[in-house]
Structure 1
Amino acid sequence: MKRYIRLTIFLIAFTGVVTSAQVDLTREKCREMALEYSRQIKLSKNRKEQALLDKKIATAAHLPNFSASGLYFYKPDALEYSLDGGPLPTYQPDQNGELQPNVMVNPQTGEPVMGSDGNPVFNMYAMMPDMNLNLGLEGVTSAGIQLEQPVYMGGKIRTANKMAETGIEVADINMELKTSEIIAETDEAYFQYISVKAKKQAAKDYKVLLDSLVASIEASVQEGMATRNDLLKAQVKKNEAILMVQKANSGLQLARMNLCRIIGLPFETEIAINEQLSDGNSKTIQAENSSIELRPEYQMLTKAIEMGSYEEKMARSEMLPKIGISAGYNYFGGLEINGQGTEEMAFSAMASVKIPVFKWFEERNKVTKAKLQTEAAKMKLEETEKLLQLEIAQAQFNMEDAKKRLELTQSALDQAEENLETSRDRYEAGMERLVDLLQAQAQWQEAKSNKIDAQTSVKLMYTKYLKATGKLTKL
């Protein structure tokens, strides 16, 4: 019993250790985990595999087709047929040795004598007896192999191969598009977590200032150097700081859960990120000459136009002749005629040509439809080009605005820190009111929070700029 209790305690303790273990994360690790976990990426990989199979299927159409066939037929009762006999006309050789009908000729007219039935009358007839046929079908078998090779299919096979190759390229582009979207989403969640974590620390620092101020005022009240009203004002601000810390902690938990959702970890997983927000190389982040041709969206639309041209060729191929050849070797046996069996093995070859003549304009309508689809793809590309250019310009402006905001918030924070230090000195010297010191502390906390938002914005705007220019997955 004691051993059982000890084992239970050990398992509970071990489970507690496992569930409380933290996962160390970096931005690169988060990206890798998000890409590995993302269902969109898995779906894109599935489409890529399908495209590769389409290519193999299209390639196989060039190759000859081998097939084998076999047949077994059993009928217990034989088939019996009777052929009536009767007179048969005769023939005789002429001077050249060729057989000519042995008809009766009228010596006066030199014309053949015609019977009452309208047929010529022969000088001599041969009598054919009645004939009975018995076909035995007990175990008729046939087997053979066949080789078929398409020679010309109106360009359909070649076009299908090009379409399959383009399909693989589209699958790769779609993979890149989904990858950039996942990376952008991951970066946003990652820096959001760091931002909330920094705000939580700023709220704690603000609370520490107020704790120190409240303690100082309480001592002053006891000595009669401060009023009860001053203490209440400071305590109100302290309570606000406590609530601020609580909200920051709740926000941090939500940010952690959101990041875990994206990278595929359970919501209750504790994470550890050592990266801190900093100005870093924000001044060196510059917009580069960018082209919309790097955007996956643009590339997919150009491939759509290319696929449209192939659809036209496929439709036209249905209007062209088709040529093929085939050869086979076959065995046939088991058929009996009047008790005598037959067995035969033979080689056969065939060439076929199929020329479409008229199908009520079906192929022509298909060609026209394919042309309209290609024109629609071109118009969509023209419209999307302007939207992508606008998106790049907007991302560039947002990045520049974020950098400028960071400079201004840093300046505001420096001023708030200087003002807080001056206000604290003046308050301690009795030259400033408590309300002014509380306001200076609140201004410092607000400036600190704004600085954190600005630092986060620079990081996110740079990621969005790279995504807008199609460079996010190429770093």
Structure 2
Amino acid sequence: MESNKIKIVSILKIATCMLFLIGTVANAQELTLKKARELMLEKNGEIKASSFEVKSMEEEQKATKGLRLPTVSLSGTYLNLDKDISANLNAERDMVGGLLSISEPAAVLGDWNFSLLDRNIGFASADISMPLYAGGKINAANKASEIKLDLSENNHRLKEDELTVNLITYFNKLKLAKEAEILRKEVYETVLLHSNHADKFFENGMIPEVETLNAKVALSNAKRELLAAKKDVALATTALKNLIGIDDLESISTVFSDPSILKPLNEFQIEMLKENKQLKTIERNYELAKVGVKVENSDYFPKVGVFGKYLLWKDNLPLVDTKWVVGVGVEWELFNGLQREHKIKASKYKVSQIEALDKQARLNLTTYTEKLYNEIEKQLEQFKSLKTDETFAKKLKFMRTRAFEEGTGTSLEVVDATLKLTEIKLHKIKALYLYNVAYGELMVRIGETESFLNEN
């Protein structure tokens, strides 16, 4: 007898362990919002394209740094002219002969028809040049490339935030659809059970036939709503898979976290103006516009550079006897039709334009933060009210069901109580859905994405 007890206890322990392991594996397979975002950042095509834009700007910045370095090149030329280049000075020779009283200048002084350059000529050289001073244009170009790289990185983070907000919406919409499906299934099973009871009561002569008809109509409606809920789940699943960039979607938890009281609105507004990436984009564009003013001002200054040439090979160039040459070049444009003045004014207007955009963007973000915050508070109030209504609706359903079973209530009253409870539950999970979407968007926009993901 004692050994049987030990065996039973052992079997119970093993069964408990197996159930625990099964539960652990099931939970491990559930896709969390945080894991979904990690997958999206890895697989989403838009994010990949944005990352390539950043890499492109990194290379552009490296290329701009090369403006400070010397340029080395090789060049070569080979020419074939229609005839040799010559200088016929026989007329001058005859003039000289006359002055010297020479009777036959040609015989005495010779032929003065000289060949200066053969018709076939060629040369090759190595060239080097390097700017020394460009009025600040090179420094400005490097600063501009640095700002453009920062802008591309910030735009990449903005793209991540935009898709993260979409992910929060799609993920919670799938949770809402799954939760609604569960509720619709519960309603269907409840109404089915009620319909079966109604049929038995009718067969036993306890209720009239009209009560069974009410139950059947309710059952048909419940089935239709359940099928619609299943389709909503399928559609939400497809949308989420496409956003993440995956073919298969693991099961996700349908549990919504209960809303909590937030910190005051003004604190969120301060964080929004401090951490919002759209404002950072405007700030960097403002810096870029100021660099543009410096670039246009640089045209007022001379450009100075050094250069050198080394002759590697020459053919039929008797007049060129040197091997190398070095020098310093200066170019200073004094007047260009007032182009510089107008370009400077145009670049200054861009600075003023961005200042105006920044001012308006801050006002818009303050209002946007208040809108999200009010939506969060509204859904929090809705949730609390619906929780109270749910308690009353559960009690009403219980009482209507008992009354029907005792013959003092109608089938219609039971169905009505069941649907009322379901409607309240649906409104409650919808309030949770809207709360989480608004709260998630607010947290993402103030740069607290990780904090929000860790809460879910």
TM-score for the superposition, normalised by structure 2: 0.84
Partner of 1:295: 276
Partner of 1:187: 168
Partner of 2:17: none
Retained in 1: the 8 A contact 2:188–2:223? Answer: yes
Partner of 2:201: 220
Larger Rg: 1
Partner of 2:256: 278
Q: What do you get for the CA RMSD once the two structures are aligned?
A: 2.5
1:79 positional shift? 4.1
What is the DSSP-based 3-state SS (H/G/I as helix, E as strand, rest coil) of the residue aligned with 1:382? Answer: helix
- Name which of 40, 45, 48 aligns with 1:34: 40
Distance (whole Å) between structure 1 residues aligned to residue 295 and residue 208 of structure 2: 92
Are 2:213 and 1:236 aligned? no
- Name which of 232, 245, 260 aligns with 2:241: 260
What is the DSSP-based 3-state SS (H/G/I as helix, E as strand, rest coil) of the residue aligned with 2:113? Answer: strand
Are 2:94 and 1:86 aligned? yes
- Unaligned runs of 5+ residues in structure 2 are 1-28
Partner of 1:423: 400
Deviates more, 1:170-179 or 1:391-400: 391-400
1:257 positional shift? 1.4
Distance (whole Å) between structure 1 residues aligned to residue 250 and residue 50 of structure 2: 31
Distance (whole Å) between structure 2 residues aligned to residue 299 and residue 423 of structure 1: 60
1:82 positional shift? 2.1
- Name which of 274, 288, 313 aligns with 2:294: 313
Structure number with the higher strand fraction is: 1
Deviates more, 1:70-79 or 1:433-442: 70-79
Q: How does 1:28-427 map to 2 (within 5 A)?
A: 28-75=34-81, 78-84=84-90, 85-88=93-96, 130-135=111-116, 137=118, 139-266=120-247, 269=248, 271-280=249-258, 282-283=259-260, 285-286=262-263, 288-289=267-268, 290-331=271-312, 333-335=314-316, 344-427=321-404
Query: For residue 423 of structure 1, what is the amino acid of its counterpart?
Result: R
Distance (whole Å) between structure 1 residues aligned to residue 149 and residue 451 of structure 2: 20
Number of aligned residues: 413
The share of aligned pairs that are identical, in percent, is: 18
Distance (whole Å) between structure 1 residues aligned to residue 302 and residue 275 of structure 2: 42
Structure number with the higher helix fraction is: 2
Deviates more, 1:77-86 or 1:418-427: 77-86
Query: For residue 199 of structure 1, what is the amino acid of its counterpart?
Result: A
Distance (whole Å) between structure 2 residues aligned to residue 376 and residue 474 of structure 1: 35
TM-score for the superposition, normalised by structure 1: 0.81
- Unaligned runs of 5+ residues in structure 1 are 1-22, 90-121
1:76 positional shift? 8.1
